[in-house]
Amino acid sequence: MATSFADALTPLARTMPRAARSIEILRVSAQLDGDGFDASANRARAAVLKWASKRAGAVLPKDAWEQRDFDLMAGGRNSTAVRISNDEMDLWALRAEDPDKTVAGRIWSTEVVIGGEAGKRPHLSLRLIVSTNEADFRIEPHVPGTVLQMIEAPGLIRGARPLLAVPRLIQSENDAEDLCDHLEDPDRRLPVFVIVTPDDGGPPPINDVELAKATAGLARVVRIPEAFSRVLTNRFGRYRSVFNGGVRVYMAGFSAADDPYGHRLFLGDALRIAGAANACVNWLRTVAADTSIATTRLGKEVLEFSSVRTASHRIKAQDKSDRAAPDAELLETAQQLIDSLEKQIVEKTGEIDAYLDLSEASEARALAAEQENRALLFKVKQLKEALAKGGETPTLEPPMPLVWGDFLDWFDNTYPDRVLMTPAARRMVKSPEYENVELVARVVTWLATVQHEIRQAGGGSLRDMPVESGILNSPCGGDTYRAEWKGRSYDLDWHVKTGGNSRDPKRCLRIYYFWEPELQQTVIDHLPSHRHTNAT
């Protein structure tokens, strides 16, 4: 029985088309290089127009190439630009739409603003936004090609250092010391990805060329030979360094006294496992994109196209009012301003909805982490009490739950250091249709004992391993999917399942999970029945 009105509508909602939503993917904030400010701005605008012309649905008008206002409506490939130019400022803003080449209904929008106060170094701000109705939207972020063009000419600067689209090569101890200075710079805003290469001249552990290109303007990618990595170890200590073919993320605010676990380290041995290097690159790309949104402020470092367009219409309306233009002309300008404000409201509403979704996901992660922390503290208390009494470590586990109302309490108090659940999985066990609660608990016990010990030992195959009669542990194969857990993306590539082809939610058992190698934990994302996908 449905427990709420929302639950009652869930099966119907799965059959209804989803409304399109706008998702901001990344932001770039930089200054243009070059001593001639006007020349640099003109070059940058020309580069953006050349890039946009290849994606536009028609030939860009003459006004576009003369860097003036224009509108090109081409059904999903619309391009629009406005320019504010007076004694105080020169600002040019463009918004270009581009349908995805492989996914129907997915439309990319790139917003570029170039310019600033008169007589000062021009500023670049860029936003990449996607409109989609996909229920499970996942991508590997990559900056638009126009960023790479502007890095090439006229050049981009962030924090007095040039931005690169290739890895920076550390070739001496002085270079390594300069890197250390940069990592500790309190004014640094971009994350730095440091990749250690072997002394024998072998390739880097990950494709850092691809990474540098994808994250140009979002992060700095540095390639350092093993011989010079000792400079980082001497400066920061082993726990904050990177070595032996590893990769480390140094987030903004790093110092030699910082918590090392806030700056993720990928060990060289782990990167040599099949698929680990690609997963590392994808994770770094996502971190760079997410960080660019979290650390740049709209209206400050990055300007929205809609706000520049509205400001342009407001200035034009004021100018025509000051020179007493004809009523018809004033009315037309006023209508343009109203239309611009209405579009801005619609765009803002969509952004607010997206931010609310992110906020809800963050709150769910925080609640799950709090529950995990309480469960671990309970285990620690048990151990301390046993040690104080001089007894042995308690081994008696709570009795198996027989009803779903007892399952979460049992789960949290039994193996909190070995098996965890994502917030989504926790919601699924509140009142599912699947009937055999005790069987699910026995599977969790298997994951926390047999499976856990095999993983830790690093040997033995888990493929099609029997959990008990009629229950197998198998790779997901074509059912593999990606999910977020504690801010990272993982492949859900294993599941425990009942045999046969039944999809009856009362009897069909499916527990989808992944192994977290760093923490040596199993994380369950979906249970206790088969996942609903686009095919089902």
From the first residue on, what is the mean pLDDT of each consecutive set of 10 residues in the chain (536 residues)?
51 60 93 94 96 92 95 88 89 94 92 92 96 86 97 95 97 97 96 93 93 98 96 94 95 91 89 87 94 90 88 70 58 60 62 60 63 63 65 63 90 86 88 92 94 80 90 89 80 86 81 86 92 58
Q: Which of 295, 322, 348 is the last residue of a domain?
A: 295
**Tokens 């890895």, located at residue:** 167
Same domain as 256, residue 145: no
Cis peptide before 191 (omega within 30 of 0): no
Same domain as 244, residue 329: no
Same domain as 143, residue 176: no
Give residue 359's pLDDT. Answer: 62
Same domain as 350, residue 473: no
| CATH code, domain with 190 | 3.40.30.10
Same domain as 339, residue 190: no
Contacts for 412-415: CB closer than 8 Å, 24+ residues apart:
412/371, 412/372, 412/374, 412/375, 413/375, 413/378, 413/379, 414/444, 414/445, 414/448, 415/444, 415/445, 415/448
Q: Kindly tell me the burial class for residue 168, based on how many C-beta atoms sit within 10 Å of its own C-beta (0-12, 13-18, 19 or more).
A: buried
Number of domains composing the chain: 3
Q: Would residue 6 count as lying in a domain?
A: no
Give residue 298's pLDDT. Answer: 86
Residues 243 and 266 sit within 8 Å (Cβ to Cβ): no
Q: Would residue 374 count as lying in a domain?
A: no
Q: Would residue 389 count as lying in a domain?
A: no
Separation CA 85–CA 60 (nearest Å): 21
Same domain as 170, residue 278: yes
CA count, 13 A, side-chain hemisphere, 277: 17
Give residue 534's pLDDT. Answer: 47
Q: Would residue 405 count as lying in a domain?
A: yes
Same domain as 302, residue 288: no
- Of residues 32, 296, 29, the one with CA closest to residue 150: 32
Q: Would residue 13 count as lying in a domain?
A: no
Same domain as 32, residue 142: yes
Q: Which of 262, 280, 295 is the last residue of a domain?
A: 295
Q: Would residue 148 count as lying in a domain?
A: yes
Same domain as 152, residue 170: no
Reduced to 3 states, what is the DSSP secondary structure of residue 13? helix
Give residue 1's pLDDT. Answer: 40
Q: Where in the sequence is the domain holding 190, given as residue range(s)?
A: 164-295
Give residue 430's pLDDT. Answer: 85
Same domain as 31, residue 150: yes
Same domain as 280, residue 177: yes
Q: Would residue 376 count as lying in a domain?
A: no
Give residue 168's pLDDT. Answer: 97
Same domain as 139, residue 172: no
Q: Which of 266, 295, 324 is the last residue of a domain?
A: 295
Which residues 6+ apart lie within 8 Å of 90 measured at CB? 41, 83, 84, 115, 116, 118, 122
Q: Would residue 371 count as lying in a domain?
A: no
Give residue 2's pLDDT. Answer: 43
